[in-house]
Amino acid sequence: MASEQVDSIQAAIAGEIRLLDREVRSSAVLMGELMDPEFTEIGASGRLWDRTSLITSISQDPDPSEAPIAVSDMAGRLLAPGIVHLTYVSDYNGRRVRRSSIWRHSEQGWRLYFHQGTLSLH
38 bridge partner residues: none
β-pairing verdict for 48-50 and 35-42: antiparallel
pLDDT of residue 89: 96
Block means of pLDDT (10 residues each) for the chain, length 122 residues?
88 96 91 97 94 91 72 96 97 91 96 95 72
Domains and CATH numbers, the chain: 3-57+70-119 (3.10.450.50)
Residue 121 DSSP symbol: -
Q: What are phi and psi of 110, to 5 degrees?
A: -80, 130
Read off φ and ψ for residue 45, nearest 5 degrees. -80, -10
pLDDT at 94: 84
- Asked if 78 contacts 84 with a C-beta cutoff of 8 angstroms, the reply is yes
pTM above 0.75?
yes
| Apex 11 CA angle, 14 and 2, nearest 5 | 135
